[in-house]
Amino acid sequence: MTGALPYVRTPGSEKTVNVSYSIRTYILGPDDNLYRLASAKFSRMVDDPESHRLERFAGQRVRMAEVTVEVRDRAPCAVVRLVYEMLGFDADGRLDHATFMRQNTALAELAIDPVIPRLVEKEKGVIDAGSRFVARGGSWHPSTALEQEILRAALDETSCKRL
């Protein structure tokens, strides 16, 4: 998903800088090898897991990093957002769609929860922590070295295999 945004010129400058954002998806294999997964391919895996499989990860639960990169004049220049998730695959390499959707729904609920008042919960005096547990089960945190490797790959400072 890439969207172009106009960049405001500095007063007195005649050069226009084109700024856009790029979502880059990386999967880490069990051996910590980093693979780049095209956004279109990942979307197809989510939309139609039956037809779009990753046999390499069949029967596994792997780590994924979704990186939002600021791109200026077609060159990546900054990472503006990092999200770490877990992806499960069945024995035939199909994405576990139900778990993926449940975890992402829980993450969305956690993001929206502070904004939308929950009057019923206040009246009950009970906090529903289900979303928090589901979201936590679908995330992970890399070591500093591994995060640096992901950042370097996202900024095209190092190459990695493509899926």
pLDDT of 2-15, one tens digit each? 444 444 444 556 67
Residue-wise pLDDT for 21-39, tens only, equals 999 999 999 888 999 999 9
Please state the rounded mean pLDDT for residues 85-92.
94
Residue 152 pLDDT > 70: yes
SS (H, E, C) the chain: CEEEEECCCCCCCCCCCEEEEEEEEEEECCCCCEEEECHHHHHHHHHCCCCCCCHHHCCCEEEEEEEEEEEECCEEEEEEEEEEEEEEECCCCCECHHHHHHHHHHHHHHHHCCCCCCHHHHHHCCCCCHHHHHHHHCCCCCCHHHHHHHHHHHCCCCCCEEC
Which residue would you say has higher pLDDT here, 69 or 132? 69
Residue 16 pLDDT > 90: no
Q: What is the pTM of this model?
A: 0.74
Residue 134 pLDDT > 90: no
Please state the rounded mean pLDDT for residues 100-109.
80
pLDDT of residue 6: 45
pLDDT of residue 15: 78
Please state the rounded mean pLDDT for residues 25-54.
94
pLDDT of residue 8: 41
The single residue listed with the structure tokens 């999200």 is: 83
Please state the rounded mean pLDDT for residues 70-78.
94
pLDDT of residue 14: 66
Mean pLDDT of the chain, nearest integer: 82
Which among 107, 95, 97 is positioned nearest to 137, based on CA atoms? 107
